[in-house]
Structure 1
């Protein structure tokens, strides 16, 4: 074999070996690459599975929480609706709640708020509802007023057992009370829908209220065509209205003359020398059994006209600080007459109606120099389901109740130093009605 041939053979062999080694390397890389990609895919699939498991777990927990919240909300709504239904079935107020049994709504709210934090939402919902804001007291008010109210139960019970309602009423010989009037109306077949029947029933129901809660004597019912604007008159003893404050500073502060419109010095009744005489006043009552009408400016003018007996006269304090009528010349020539009786600082005029004031009516009511007291007293209501034969029986009526009391500036000035507000509050507690006393 020649040398060139041997070289060519060796080169070809070398090329074959290089090609073979390259193929081996290529095949090795090819076989290695898929295995690495498969492991990467396996790792990715395993990581995706763990995230989905976590997501499913969180979703299940959130669903459980939402179901529990939804259930709690339904429970709260059911409880709230139940309380609202119960409250709508009877009348309740801020003060009578303090005297209810342990199962009262406010006690329920207090216990629930303590036992379960979720009920605090219910409490705030109830207390913030405009319909019920007047019906509930907060725990702070309950705690602050509990001792004050509990100090007065004996006084309230004594007033409830009083025999004032047995006082004889001077008036119509045919009737002088609700029972006797209903008997009279039944015998005379008076229509219960007539204004005469409704007016007399309203007057007599308020008369019963006065006899029960006010310290009155010589009560005269003179309602009718010739009543001269006065339905009820009586002597009113104010000695059971305790003076406000017991300290020397409080007494000294109360000994201040009041200025009311044209009267510069109005002397409160408690500052009179003879309290026994000054605290026994005349009370004149005018009742208006209205359906929709309210005390307006015309009504106030009628009151002033009825009591003044003159258009050019006005009130001014005399040397004894009694309210009297004087003419424009400053010379006292007439006394105010109320149904034939003279008016001075020891006479109060009470206007009673189931409605309120108009805006101008209230302004004129305050401007009046007569000591005026407005009482909002509800009308009597025939109970549902009562037949024709039962309309003349008192048991079938829901008798009118005290709703609010308002004194004009002159009446407030004369009563300064007397605990008039608590007096009305006690009356409200006795009858269980809504209490609302307004002062300027």
Structure 2
């Protein structure tokens, strides 16, 4: 098993390159571009956020989900706690919080109690958005997630939306009023470097990570923004996570 960051990136880039070469005849079709973006998103989810069991499921019967997988955030919590420290103790913290009409317990308490299981991840990719994602388009995506996540799974599932663009102010306001853990990732599309080749090194990067209010409460003290900003993911072994 390839455990280090550079080795994992080489493996993912090799898979993306193979897809590009096998489909070079249709490289300018929307289907090709959409699939390429989904593979790029999977690379970033795997390498930067340490998601596992990622599966591309986009198709006519996908229910609006392009990628699904698993997220052992307890691994990230443990690593960031070592770097940043955690001064809280389990007997001095209020364990439950109210968020958008729902009572939830941050995941760290499941980690403390050894009852944590990896989160289920549902991902939608919006490769062809030409500008910032507006509220109208966002509501349609939210409706898809709400139909797929029951109340009993609300705190065990994270909904992720990916696009090459930023959110509008109105969309940011909307996303924070949603009673679901939702994360928005701004991930670049791969850039063509000429002659049917794509720049796999300097493009297709995860450039923005945003948790809505519900997700921020659920992921309290997991310090995922710091995990990304400090590049902790680069120095951690993949093989150590559950």
Relative to the length of structure 2, the TM-score reads 0.79
Matches within 5 A, 1:392-431: 393-394=197-198, 398-427=202-231, 430=234
Alignment match of 2:173 (pick from 336, 339, 363): 363
Q: Give distance in 2, aligned partners of 1:273 and 1:204.
A: 31
Residues 165, 208 of structure 1: 8 Å contact kept: no
User: Which protein shows a greater Rg?
Assistant: 1
- Tell me whether 1:246 sits opposite 2:56 in the alignment: no
Alignment match of 1:376 (pick from 186, 209, 215): 186
| CA distance 1:429–1:304, change in 2 (3 Å) | closer
Q: Deviations over 1:142-194 (max 9, x none)?
A: xxxxxxxxxxxxxxxx7524648758xxxxxxxx94123213312xx21x333
Partner of 2:28: 193
Residues 299, 361 of structure 1: 8 Å contact kept: no
Matches within 5 A, 1:18-37: none
| CA distance 1:218–1:429, change in 2 (3 Å) | closer
Structure ranking higher on relative contact order (CA contacts 8 Å, 6+ apart): 2
Alignment match of 2:71 (pick from 236, 244, 247): 236
Q: Give distance in 2, aligned partners of 1:412 and 1:163.
A: 28
Unaligned runs of 5+ in 2: 235-242
Relative to the length of structure 1, the TM-score reads 0.46
Matches within 5 A, 1:127-146: none
Q: Which has the higher helix share?
A: 1
Unaligned runs of 5+ in 1: 1-157, 168-175, 311-322, 326-334, 336-342, 431-440
- Tell me whether 1:219 sits opposite 2:64 in the alignment: no
Q: Which has the higher strand share?
A: 2
RMSD (CA atoms): 3.0
Q: Give distance in 2, aligned partners of 1:164 and 1:223.
A: 23
| CA distance 1:270–1:164, change in 2 (3 Å) | farther
Partner of 2:5: 160
Residues 354, 378 of structure 1: 8 Å contact kept: yes
SS of 1:400 mapped into structure 2:
coil
Matches within 5 A, 1:290-369: 290-309=128-147, 325=151, 343-369=153-179
| CA distance 1:183–1:164, change in 2 (3 Å) | closer
Partner of 1:283: 121
Residues 209, 225 of structure 2: 8 Å contact kept: no
